[in-house]
Amino acid sequence: MSSPALLQPSFDDLGRPLATTTFVVVDLETTGSGPEASITEIGAVRVCGGEVTGEFQTLVNPSEAIPPLISVLTGITNAMVMDAPRAAEVLPSFWEFARGAVLVAHNASFDVGFLKRASAALDTPWSSPSVVDTVGLARGVLLRDEVPNVKLATLAQHFRAPVSPNHRALTDARATVHVLHGLLERVGNLGVSTLEDLLEFTRGVSPERRAKRTLASDLPSAPGVYTFVADLPDRDGIVRRQVLYVGKSVNIRSRVRSYFTAAEKRPRMEEMVRIATGVEATVCRTPLEAEVLELRLIAAHAPRYNRRSKFPERQHWLKLTNEPYPRFSIVRQVADDRGTYLGPFGRRQNAEAAMYALYDAFPLRQCTDRISERRPGTACALGEMGRCAAPCDGTISRLDYATLSDSVRVSLDADVRPVLAANQQRLAQLIAAERFEEAGHITARLGTFLRATTRTRRLTALARCPQIVAACRTDAGWEIHVIRYGRLTAAALARPTEVPQAVARDAETAAERVAPPIPGLPAATIEEAERVAAWLERPGVRLIAIDGDWSWPLHGTISLDDLPRHALGEGSALAR
């Protein structure tokens, strides 16, 4: 990759030169500082290239009395504004004077705020001009040992303005012009030469960060994935290329350019951009391909500035064990051990919530002891309470316990209704007794269980399909994807002039070969499989070819919106 110093900036990179930019420096006098106050005077100076090209000044009748303190401060009295034009007459003339210019004001939020409110009151559309605040500019340029503060009078004296501010609009605007020119001279020494540079400078973007926008010059304006890289020494002192950050965008060049502006506000990105020595891009044929490639690159490189690298998804699974007396266990991964799994869950607490929802429906044992029919033990407290089938003391035979565990597998694999039905009576009793907090806990557990079943169905449905070829029509053409065991193995885009079926056949031929995964798991990461599932479930997606059964059991999931109706019954007041 070329060094940033050798890249030739485009005209788009250069921006609007300050030397040819027209500014209108404006100052307002008002009846107060609050949003209910009104304008009493407008003063403005139009400048370009350091030369004054016009001035605008008028008193404004505020339609209210000017407070005595304000009159003392500004020298503007009620008698002076009695015959002055009202804002409705003044503002159109002012906006015509300021047409096409950049607004400049000292403490711009005050002056621009009044202009916005006055325009809104008159139903005049706000043109959203660029605004430069000399207060913010001064804070970024001047050191504390140069000026004690950034008041207009202080800055006017510092830059030796020929006029002194006196709280009259035109005089203060003239003083601000000289302050602006003095500040522009200072920032020019810092490499600020365009309006875009100036606006970024006032927003706190460092010159080093702005200078690196040339890293985006050769990037494509196309969808895909981009990586910020840097040549850094490793632990052995050997300089190697390191991936700092991975992202995706529908327009790579535009997105990367935003990292060098104030649009990017994440603190860690400031550090990342400062370290980066290059940006690499991979154009993708479809948005799904870009999403998947981003996930894979992050997993492969663990970039230090991707949040996903620092906080990877923690996976927990609820497992019904495969042993003579099955029980629930929370594990970190799925094994090929003929167990029945539900998940994954991002937090262990969620796995526990789903487990307790199942315990409310099925009296499975909760102990971890090995149980022997030859040597019966003593039932625990749960067994005495009837919340455990108590196979340990022979209360239930091995055959009957196997029937019970088979019922649990059916709820995990195919039918969630028994779990909801088992909680119906208990929830109704709690609500009748106005024990809403307890009822809320049970409902939350059921919701966690239902979300887990939905997630499990999506993953297992994809994982058992050796191949799915699907397409979706977009403005660019037909997006075509080849999916094998839940893994995206090929992506293609059939342009309007191409035959989608032919493009799909070529994609299928070039697709990655995938070995069958562990039963119940996709041949990709959980997140990739979920992105693929989300795309397949979009309206308008059409199946071209499928090998396997991509299906869900009829009662395998229930919408969370329907949870009250199913858990409480149709006649419940809460269900209604």
Are the beta carbons of 45 and 25 closer than 8 angstroms? Answer: yes
- The number of helix segments (H) and strand segments (E) in the chain equals 22, 15
Treating both helix axes as pointing N-terminal to C-terminal, what angle do 87-97 and 108-121 enclose, rounded to 10 degrees?
A: 120
DSSP reduced 3-state for 570: coil
Instruction: Give phi and psi for 59, each to the nearest 5.
Output: -80, 155
Q: Order of strands across the sheet with 328-331?
A: 328-331, 316-320, 340-345
What pLDDT, on a 0 to 100 scale, did the predictor assign at position 560?
Answer: 54
Task: Indicate the length of the chain as a whole number.
Answer: 576
What pLDDT, on a 0 to 100 scale, did the predictor assign at position 378?
Answer: 64
* Average of per-residue pLDDT values in the chain: 87
Distance between CA atoms of 291 and 390, rounded to whole angstroms?
Answer: 49
- Check pLDDT > 90 for residue 45: yes
High-pLDDT (> 70) share of the chain, %: 90
Instruction: Give phi and psi for 148, each to the nearest 5.
Output: -75, -25
Q: Say which residue the tokens 């169905």 belong to.
A: 457
Instruction: Give phi and psi for 213, each to the nearest 5.
Output: -65, -15
Greater pLDDT, 250 or 311: 250
Neighbours of 80 (CB within 10 A): 16
In this structure, of 213-222, 309-318, 427-436, 484-493, the range with the lowest mean pLDDT score is: 309-318
What pLDDT, on a 0 to 100 scale, did the predictor assign at position 313?
Answer: 66
DSSP reduced 3-state for 87: helix
DSSP reduced 3-state for 320: strand
Which residues face 217 on adjacent strands? none
Greater pLDDT, 436 or 11: 436
Instruction: Give phi and psi for 536, each to the nearest 5.
Output: -65, -30
Question: What type of residue is 39?
Answer: I
What pLDDT, on a 0 to 100 scale, did the predictor assign at position 572?
Answer: 43
What pLDDT, on a 0 to 100 scale, did the predictor assign at position 574?
Answer: 39
Which residues face 112 on adjacent strands? none
Distance between CA atoms of 244 and 226, rounded to whole angstroms?
Answer: 11
DSSP reduced 3-state for 397: coil
Q: Order of strands across the sheet with 239-249?
A: 239-249, 224-233, 278-283
What pLDDT, on a 0 to 100 scale, did the predictor assign at position 541?
Answer: 95
What pLDDT, on a 0 to 100 scale, did the predictor assign at position 561?
Answer: 59
In this structure, of 107-116, 364-373, 429-438, 515-524, the range with the lowest mean pLDDT score is: 364-373
What pLDDT, on a 0 to 100 scale, did the predictor assign at position 11?
Answer: 43
High-pLDDT (> 90) share of the chain, %: 57
Q: How confident is the model at residue 5 (pLDDT cuts 50, 70, 90)?
A: very low
Distance between CA atoms of 112 and 169, rounded to whole angstroms?
Answer: 14
Instruction: Read off the pLDDT of each residue in 470-477 and give the average, rounded to a whole number.
Output: 94
- Check pLDDT > 50 for residue 365: yes
What pLDDT, on a 0 to 100 scale, did the predictor assign at position 12?
Answer: 46
- Check pLDDT > 70 for residue 489: yes
State whether the Cα torsion 509-512-518-522 is positive or negative.
negative
Residue 357 token pair: 């929802």
Q: What is the pLDDT of residues 366-380, one digit of tens each?
A: 888 777 666 666 667
State the burial class of residue 291 (Cβ atoms within 10 Å of its Cβ: 0-12, 13-18, 19+).
buried
Question: What type of residue is 504?
Answer: A
Are the beta carbons of 470 and 492 closer than 8 angstroms? Answer: no
What pLDDT, on a 0 to 100 scale, did the predictor assign at position 197?
Answer: 79
Q: Pairing relation of β-strands 102-105 and 51-59?
A: unpaired
pTM of the model: 0.69
Catalytic residue among 158, 167, 301, 555: 167
Q: Would residue 167 show up in a list of annotated catalytic residues for this protein?
A: yes
Are the beta carbons of 424 and 567 closer than 8 angstroms? Answer: yes
Distance between CA atoms of 255 and 55, rounded to whole angstroms?
Answer: 41
What pLDDT, on a 0 to 100 scale, did the predictor assign at position 387?
Answer: 75
Treating both helix axes as pointing N-terminal to C-terminal, what angle do 134-141 and 195-202 enclose, rounded to 10 degrees?
A: 80
Residue 247 token pair: 């992202």
In this structure, of 142-146, 195-199, 432-436, 553-557, the range with the lowest mean pLDDT score is: 553-557
Greater pLDDT, 393 or 26: 26
Query: CA of 506: how far to CAs of 107, 276, 287, 467, in Å?
Result: 62, 38, 19, 15
Q: What is the pLDDT of residues 352-362, one digit of tens each?
A: 999 999 998 89
In this structure, of 147-156, 263-272, 279-288, 472-481, the range with the lowest mean pLDDT score is: 263-272
- Check pLDDT > 90 for residue 482: yes
- Check pLDDT > 50 for residue 571: no
Q: How confident is the model at residue 396 (pLDDT cuts 50, 70, 90)?
A: confident
- Check pLDDT > 50 for residue 534: yes
Query: CA of 10: how far to CAs of 212, 213, 345, 519, in Å?
Result: 14, 11, 49, 54
- Check pLDDT > 80 for residue 267: no
What pLDDT, on a 0 to 100 scale, did the predictor assign at position 270?
Answer: 82
Residues 6+ apart with CB under 8 A from 55: 43, 44, 45, 46, 170
Which residues face 459 on adjacent strands? none
What pLDDT, on a 0 to 100 scale, did the predictor assign at position 370?
Answer: 76
Which 8-state DSSP code applies to residue 212?
Answer: G
What pLDDT, on a 0 to 100 scale, did the predictor assign at position 39?
Answer: 95
- Check pLDDT > 50 for residue 469: yes
